[in-house]
Amino acid sequence: MQLWPHLPAFYCNIKDLCPSVKNILLLDHDGRRVAVKYFSDEWATNSAKETFENLVFEKTQKTLARNEAEIILLENHIVVYKFAQDLQFFVTGGDEENELILSSVLQAFFESVTILLRLFSDTSLVHCLSMSDVQRGNVDKKEALENLDLILLCIDEIIDGGIVLETDPNVIAGKVASNSTDSGAPLSEQTLSQALATAREHLARSLLK
């Protein structure tokens, strides 16, 4: 769901009009970075960011967040999070932000990453047009690291400068998949991987219909 279809991003400096996110974190089960993006100057150095990530990891390990998202208030920030296999997904907002909006961002991030990693790691799905088939199964750190570019593009589709743009995982995954394929060359001149990319693009277009 596109939250602000008629409002240009530059108007979103008025915080009352647009929900915002301070960072999105994807960590492994040991608290190490997999993919992170910050949208606030509160953490000006890499050291400050790593300190925050360590704190978030430490404070959330005693909770169960595999079936449903959990929420914690941490240093005047609301952090919503969810775990899957050996990956941990976090979204941070200010303590004044709407928890439901932050939770919708978390779910969009989790589901769109799941769709993309299942699609790009399992070539048997390239001809499958059923979203339930694409989403079946879990994702893990190995798949995430092998497709890190897709995860970062996914974050870019959800958040722009901290402003929430899109929370529909099917739309997000479809846009990322479309932008990640190149079918300009004739099929006879494509390598196997390029041919698979063409098939994936067909699926991506079907997601956007």
pLDDT of 197 over the 60 cut: no
Dihedral angle, C-alpha 35, 36, 37, 43, nearest 10 °: -160
Radius of gyration, CA atoms only, the chain: 18
| pLDDT score for 125 | 47
Tell me the residue ranges of DSSP E strands in 158-202.
159-160, 163-164
Answer whether 131's CB lies under 8 Å from 116's CB.
no
Out of 20-34, 55-69, 94-108, 151-165, least confident range: 55-69
pLDDT tens-digit series, residues 151-174: 999 999 999 999 999 999 989 988
Residue pointed to by tokens 């919503």: 80
Domains in the chain, start-ordered, CATH in brackets? 17-124+132-181 (3.30.450.60)
CB-facing half-sphere around the CA of 198: CA atoms within 13 A: 13
Out of 26-30, 49-53, 61-65, 137-141, least confident range: 137-141
